Structure 1
Amino acid sequence: MALTEWTDRLRIPAIAAPMTDVSGPDLVAEACCAGVVGAFPSHNAASSSELERWLAEINERRAHVGTGTQAAPVAVNLVVHPTNSRLDSDLRAVLSGGVEVVITSVGSPRSIVGPLHDAGVTVLADVASIHHARRAIDAGVDGVVLLTAGAGGQTGWANAFAFTRAARDEFDGMVVLAGGVSDGAGILAARVLGADLAYLGTRFIATTESLAPAAYRAGVVAASLDDVATTTQVTGLAANVLSEWLRGVDPAMGGGHDSEAGFSVDRLLSQRGVWAAGHSVSGTDRVLPVAELVALLDRELREARSRLLAAAFTQVEND
């Protein structure tokens, strides 16, 4: 597995995924201080100037994580689609803001890999197929984020087991598994499959530091995976959202596309207040502060490892 030096600073091998209208400075700073990568989309900041201010605030808070402790990295999600008029200015903000990880989505990262690598930034790319993964690898990324079936917001369709194993066969760089991971057992399962890190978004919607309104958080807590629907009405790309929210959406707002042809950044930003969520709502049963959630995930991960070791020991005894 391809780990970098910053992974040694993680309490658990996880990224708090970047979520539109959900991930802000409070959530990201708390995640980094708690020991997971804190990520947010650059477009959550109203402008590139605000993005610079957000990064300065987050870094200030990360600097006070505690004596002898180094905070986990900040990751910024950059939409690299040609319709993103802010890409160049957001990239400059990222390069000046001391960001250690960039996650690209909706398009080829080729044009920004060079400047990011020159600054020592790890570049990950969202992918939903082996074809997309190969293109990202050819573009020079350090790792891929596998959007599997059940991921919240922009989602994939591939089975997590098959996709992770196929990606690991293709690529010796960093592999991050996104989709349906809600607890420590899921994080361990991702590692056993060959992923370096797990991507958790839905669990972090239901945190006190989330930008999500109270009704949205309550909807996530109340939902089961049966209450998650896949739609192209939001951005033109397949996305998982809460059915409760989707029932109130005007069918005319979206097209019938499931490709980048139906996507634009303006369209994404015009659909604010979307209740995105993944299948991991079934493992989200209450709203917690980020620090408590990370501590819970850490405990669950340790317990899952213990169960796995006990099962392996029992199998050895029986052989």
Structure 2
Amino acid sequence: MENICQLLGIQYPIIQGAMANISRYQLVGAVSEAGGLGVIASGGMTANQLREQISEVKKMTQKPFAVNLMLQMKNIEELVEIIIEEKVPVVTTGAGIPKNFLPALHEAGVKVIPVIPNVKIAKKMEDLGVDAIIAEGQEAGGHIGQVSTLPLVRQVIRSVSIPVIAAGGIFDGAGMLAMEALGASGVQMGSLFLTSKECPIPDKFRKSVLQADETTTVVTGRRSGHPVRVLPNKMTETFIRLEYAGAPDEELMQLTEGSLYRAVYNDDVEEGSLMCGQSIGLITDSQSVSTIIQQVMAEYQEARTKLMKK
């Protein structure tokens, strides 16, 4: 996995997942300072808010970090300008194709890494000239695709020649070694950092994650083609009931509008959207980002050594 470390200028092949409204400077700066790649989730931010987040990360670390761009944002052009002005070294993208912004970002020396859910899009991104891709399986939290991590990562790696970063349900060093065996150049982890001491989520949200297991999460939006993996609560119970009763998409959208904000900023664990992946069953306590990353790397080395002895 050394090639992704060299490409991004990081110590460990660990990218922190961009969790909307959660991946702010407190978490991002801690991940980058600990040797991974912290990623600011810019979705929903104004240009000034993004600039402030970037500034705060720079106060915490001189090491590389990234900004995630949701390409359907109305102010996407402004956000790209801020990234270029602030000399952010890496961008990850979602919810669209970065074709219109790729030349300007590359000219500014920014590495561009889209998150993709299938082989077809992976090939398209490679043809565009992106620097690497993140293949994210449906075990991940938040908005997901239809393919699980293992078959997705292996098929993407066999279909493209650029570095592939594996994501979705990866929690520890053994999981990272498994992805390396498939040919992945690195891993992206989101839920692993969700309960870290530096992660800016409120107490009830954090407690809900710590109490969950691998069977707890549910997926809403399958019918509409916009699946989202979350923890179950009153809001998801109502959503799923209405979804399978044939309720119109407009009614379902009204139900979820502002739900992530309610979870993150109001600590509303019943009507909010508690996005997290299936790996949460392995999360039992809250630790510092530095401790988490060191444990992952120690587990990776231990698992690798055991395999070499067999």
Q: Is the TM value for this pair above 0.5? A: yes
2:169/2:279 contact within 8 Å kept? yes
Instruction: Give the aligned partner of residue 54 of structure 2.
Output: 55
SS at the partner of 1:170?
A: coil
Instruction: Give the aligned partner of residue 144 of structure 1.
Output: 133
**1:256: Cα distance to partner?**
10
Letter in 1 for 2:33: C
Provide the C-alpha distance between the structure 2 equivalents of 1:56 and 1:251, rounded to a whole number of angstroms. Answer: 41
TM-score of the superposed pair, with normalisation by structure 1: 0.84
Letter in 2 for 1:214: D
The Cα offsets for residues 260-317 of structure 1, whole Å up to 9 and x where unpaired, read as xxxx9xx876642220011111221111111111111121111111112112xxxxxx
The Cα offsets for residues 105-126 of structure 1, whole Å up to 9 and x where unpaired, read as 0111111111111111111111
Letter in 2 for 1:39: V
The Cα offsets for residues 84-136 of structure 1, whole Å up to 9 and x where unpaired, read as 11101111111112211111101111111111111111111111111121222
* 1:75 aligned onto 2:76: no
CA distance 1:253–1:268, shift in 2 (3 Å): farther
**1:190: Cα distance to partner?**
1.0
SS at the partner of 2:43?
A: helix
Letter in 2 for 1:30: A
Letter in 2 for 1:35: G
Provide the C-alpha distance between the structure 2 equivalents of 1:42 and 1:255, rounded to a whole number of angstroms. Answer: 32
Identity of aligned residues (%): 25
Provide the C-alpha distance between the structure 2 equivalents of 1:141 and 1:269, rounded to a whole number of angstroms. Answer: 32
1:152/1:279 contact within 8 Å kept? yes
SS at the partner of 2:135?
A: strand
Letter in 1 for 2:169: G
* 1:17 aligned onto 2:34: no
SS at the partner of 1:227?
A: coil
* 1:30-109 equivalences in 2 (<5 Å): 30-43=30-43, 45=45, 47-63=46-62, 71=63, 73-81=64-72, 84-109=73-98
Instruction: Give the aligned partner of residue 292 of structure 2.
Output: 293
Instruction: Give the aligned partner of residue 175 of structure 1.
Output: 164
Provide the C-alpha distance between the structure 2 equivalents of 1:110 and 1:255, rounded to a whole number of angstroms. Answer: 37
Instruction: Give the aligned partner of residue 116 of structure 2.
Output: 127
SS at the partner of 1:240?
A: strand
CA distance 1:252–1:118, shift in 2 (3 Å): farther
Provide the C-alpha distance between the structure 1 equivalents of 2:53 and 2:120, rounded to a whole number of angstroms. Answer: 35
Provide the C-alpha distance between the structure 1 equivalents of 2:5 and 2:214, rounded to a whole number of angstroms. Answer: 34
CA distance 1:32–1:194, shift in 2 (3 Å): same
**1:162: Cα distance to partner?**
2.0
Provide the C-alpha distance between the structure 2 equivalents of 1:88 and 1:256, rounded to a whole number of angstroms. Answer: 40
Provide the C-alpha distance between the structure 2 equivalents of 1:91 and 1:132, rounded to a whole number of angstroms. Answer: 22
CA distance 1:214–1:271, shift in 2 (3 Å): closer
1:242/1:277 contact within 8 Å kept? yes
Instruction: Give the aligned partner of residue 282 of structure 2.
Output: 283
Aligned length: 292
Instruction: Give the aligned partner of residue 115 of structure 1.
Output: 104
Q: Structure 2 stretches of 5 or more lacking a match? A: 247-252, 264-272
**2:209 equivalent among 220, 227, 230:** 220
CA distance 1:191–1:246, shift in 2 (3 Å): farther
2:139/2:148 contact within 8 Å kept? no
**1:151: Cα distance to partner?**
0.8
Q: Structure 1 stretches of 5 or more lacking a match? A: 64-70, 258-263, 312-319
Provide the C-alpha distance between the structure 1 equivalents of 2:24 and 2:238, rounded to a whole number of angstroms. Answer: 25
After the TM superposition, which of the residue ranges 193-202 and 207-216 deviates more from structure 2? 207-216
* 1:155-304 equivalences in 2 (<5 Å): 155-232=144-221, 237-244=226-233, 246-247=235-236, 271-272=260-261, 273=263, 274-304=273-303
Provide the C-alpha distance between the structure 2 equivalents of 1:289 and 1:131, rounded to a whole number of angstroms. Answer: 38
Letter in 2 for 1:228: T
Provide the C-alpha distance between the structure 2 equivalents of 1:150 and 1:250, rounded to a whole number of angstroms. Answer: 20
TM-score of the superposed pair, with normalisation by structure 2: 0.86
CA distance 1:4–1:281, shift in 2 (3 Å): closer
SS at the partner of 2:67?
A: strand
2:5/2:13 contact within 8 Å kept? no
Provide the C-alpha distance between the structure 2 equivalents of 1:158 and 1:302, rounded to a whole number of angstroms. Answer: 29
